[in-house]
Amino acid sequence: MCSRPTSACPVSDGLLRRLVPASLLGRLMLVMAAGLLVTQIAASAIWASQLRYKSQVETQSAAKYVAHSAAGAIRFFRSLPPAYRALIIQQLREMGGTRFFVNLNHAYVPVEQIAPHPLADKAIATVAATLKSDLPNSPGFRLAFAWPDRLVVAEHDVRLEDLPNAWVQHVLLLQPDPAPILVIQTEIEPGNWLYMAALMPNPYFLSGSDPFSWDRLMPQALSLAVVLLLCLLVVRSITRPLAALSDAAAAVGQGHDDATPPLPETGSREFVNTARAFGAMRERIARYIEDRERLFISISHDLRTPITRLKLRAELLDDDALRNDFEEDLDELDMMVKGALQCVKDSDIHENPADIRLDALLGRMVKSAQLAGHEVGYQASGITVRGKPLALKRALGNLLDNALFYGARAVIAVREEPGSVVVEVRDHGPGVPEDALASLFDPYVRLAHGRDSNDGGMGLGLGIARGIVEAHGGRLDLRNHPEGGLVAQVRLPARRPVGICAE
């Protein structure tokens, strides 16, 4: 339990995240399986209670029937002279027996009872009550259920299996599946005990009342397996188009739209409409990018000529101060046009993804910076990522250039984390105010100390770097280091091993 109701339990949340599948297919299957299991358990519980009640009613009725028959047999043998009883029993055995196996003993014969069972106890209680009602003057009855292989039927430990088969084969079930036998013993007169053994009308009433027997659980298990299999097929047919849609959206976001085939317009009506809408959106995005490229090409072509013409005219001005003002404005305008064009080119690099060894890529950048007189720290990591080499070099180069421009020295660190590769570029400068971190990615935004350190920049480097990193499926974050300076953290997806595919 959490001590604070307003805060989440980290242990329970972590356990829940581990138990709940991450994929939509897994979650839907988990919900469906849980729903089916709960339904099966509830239905089985209701059915078990009904079956238990029905078994109790049937057992009570059968026990009364057996008790009335036993009461009639006891009256009959009591009415016979003692000398004729053994003769009658012998004749009954030769005829194949009656409802009961009957024997006469001089004392009570101990019986090894079966394991306690609610239905057996109820049957014995009902038989005892019925016998007492039918034979109120009887001295008493000894009742028990026993298994045939352990049943003693006479004095001196004479067992049922020792008797001739003809005496009991029409009365009791011995083979192939023995049934429990009800034994009734009563003293009909001093020194003479009547021993009666019989089966219940439903010999297997004990096993038939078990709602969780294997023969009853098997159909439920088979039905559950069939329903789960059908659910798996249906849910998979639903989630597979969603996975294709996710892959297509990721490809569009990372600039791989040309290599992705159009989404098939098959399946449910909702997915067909989604596929058509996505296809139309992808076409609009492609047209927008083409229009943007044409627009900037036109701007480059149309603005360079008037800017050059204005510079030539400015040279003809006699007033030096006015001429210098015009030239500064034109230089600034020219720089803005070049910066905008460079931003488009840097964020739209057309090249094929490849395996990139970060040690080689960063090592060349560090060596070039050190040759230029900068202090850069880096240790080889042996990590490889998948991406566009030139684009990734440009993004990391922009981050390193920022660190060198605005800090006394820079440190590059590379490490692996579950599912990702992290590259951190830290400078040892003054850092950035916390409220200004979010605005650093905006174009042409530069802080005061940045303008002092690099007056030739235009504030486009971080935005270009973030666009390239996000096109690789990663993320670029900025934060201040506790010991001073700014940390630019690039988190890229880990390279997928060969032969392993995502679900």
Cis amide linkage into residue 176, ω under 30° from 0: yes
Cα–Cα dist 300/287, whole Å: 20
Beta bridge partners of 101: 197
Q: 472: buried, middle or exposed (CB in 10 Å: 19+, 13-18, 0-12)?
A: buried
Mean pLDDT of 263-283: 78
Task: State both tokens at 114.
Answer: 């079966």
Q: How far apart are CA 501 and CA 76, in angstroms?
A: 85
The angle formed by the CA atoms of residues 34, 36 and 41, to the nearest 5 degrees, is: 95
Residue bearing the bigger pLDDT, 158 or 263: 158
> No. of H helices and E strands in the chain?
13, 13
Residue 427 CA to residue 376 CA, distance in Å, equals 9
Predicted confidence at residue 447, as pLDDT, reads 62
Length of the chain: 503
- Its pTM stands at 0.46
Q: Sign of torsion, CA 254 257 259 264? A: positive
What whole-number distance in Å separates Cα of residue 183 and Cα of residue 195? 7
pLDDT at 495: 73
Alpha carbon separation from 266 to 152, 188, 238, 275, 323 (Å, rounded): 76, 86, 11, 9, 68
Both tokens assigned to 242? 């969603």
Q: Following CA atoms 427, 431, 436, 439 in sequence, which dihedral angle do they give, to the nearest 10 degrees?
A: -10
Least confident range from 344-348, 367-371, 381-385: namely 344-348
Distance, CA of 28 to CA of 25 (rounded, Å): 5
* Antiparallel, parallel or unpaired: β 384-387 and 376-378: unpaired
Question: Is pLDDT above 80 for 314?
Answer: no
> What six digits make up the tokens of 296?
């900037």
* CB distance 146 to 180 below 8 Å: yes
d(CA 326, CA 319): 11
Summarize pLDDT for 441-462 with one digit per residue, the tens. 776 666 655 555 555 455 667 8
Q: Which of 12, 22, 61, 54 is nearest to 418 (CA)?
A: 22
Least confident of 5-14, 98-107, 457-466, 491-500: 5-14
State how far the alpha carbon of 308 is from the alpha carbons of 304, 320, 328, in Å.
6, 19, 13
Work out the average pLDDT over 38-61: 83
Q: Are 411 and 460 in contact (CB under 8 A)?
A: no
Lowest mean pLDDT among 182-186, 326-330, 351-355: 326-330
Which residues have a Cβ under 8 Å from the Cβ of 448 and sit 6 or more positions away? none
Q: Give the integer Cα–Cα distance in Å for 452 and 215.
A: 86
Residue 17 clears pLDDT 90, i.e. is over it = no
* Residues 407, 462: Cα–Cα separation, whole Å: 15
443 forms beta bridges with none
406: three-class secondary structure by DSSP: helix
**If 0-12 CB within 10 Å is exposed, 13-18 middle and 19+ buried, where does residue 407 land?**
buried
For residues 351 and 388, the answer to whether their CB atoms sit within 8 Å is yes
Tokens 């030769």, residue located: 94
Rounded (10°) angle between helices 389-406 and 461-471: 150
Instruction: Give percent of the chain with pLDDT exceeding 90.
Output: 11
Q: Which tokens is 466 given?
A: 């973030």
Tokens 């009433």 label which residue? 205
182 close to 66: Cβ distance less than 8 angstroms: yes
Domains along the sequence of the chain with CATH = 50-208 (no CATH), 257-343 (1.10.287.130), 349-493 (3.30.565.10)
Average pLDDT over residues 484-493: 89
Average pLDDT, the chain: 79
- With tokens 């666009």, the residue in question is 467
